Amino acid sequence: MPATFRMRRLMMPAVLAGIVLSAPSSGAQEMGMKMKTGGMSMAQMEKMMRSWPKASKEATMYMTKKYGKPMHMNEHMAMWGKTGQWKRTVVYNYEVNHQFPGPHTDVMQQWIDYRTPLDKYDDLAMYDGSIVVERTNGEISARCDKEGANFLAVNLAYEIATGKRSVDDARKMYGAQVMLMKAGRPAPYTERLIFTPPMGGTVDADRPPN
């Protein structure tokens, strides 16, 4: 399967999240979302997550402890707006099997504004299947089980996009940083974004040629 096609398939959760985040509450109810606000109690949150996978529960509780309760939550996902360096975050109530750099499941997707050079799309798809590039929205996101892994994924994606690293080098660096993170040793790429993401101005309307 071509890398570009794989990337389009990965965009679907991001598109869904964008629809939910941008829809007014009445529209969300019409869609059957029954959106809840961040004012719900911890007991209500725990009840809503009762059937969620362990990784999804852990990611939601981590985000809540670090950034506060989600902006919206329903039986399918928990969503935050801007938190720290992230434009938005979604934790899903289902897992996606991911074997790089080792077996785990992807449950949490986090976005920033970024205009990716068009000639780097295939490189990013080869680097990490859980990196999602959205050209029209002007965004890039990573999907993993931990925020540190998403910081790492986006940091290395940035270095590929700017020509600082090759795909092979980035994959090796990813594995090395994950090992350091798991050992509780300093792993700078997992601690924060190493660059300052833009605040808007990254959309690409994809206009046809004149």
Contact 37, 72 (CB under 8 A): yes
DSSP characters for 134-155? ETTTTEEEEEESSHHHHHHHHH
- pLDDT surpasses 50 at 190: yes
Q: What residues contact 166, with CB distance under 8 A and at least 6 apart?
A: 160
Looking at residue 119, the DSSP 8-state letter turns out to be G
Mean pLDDT for the stretch of residues 70-95? 96
123-137 residue pLDDT tens: 999 999 999 999 999
Q: Left (φ > 0), alpha (ψ -120 to 50) or beta: where does 32 sit?
A: left
CA distance 145 to 41: 24
* Range 68-74 average pLDDT: 95
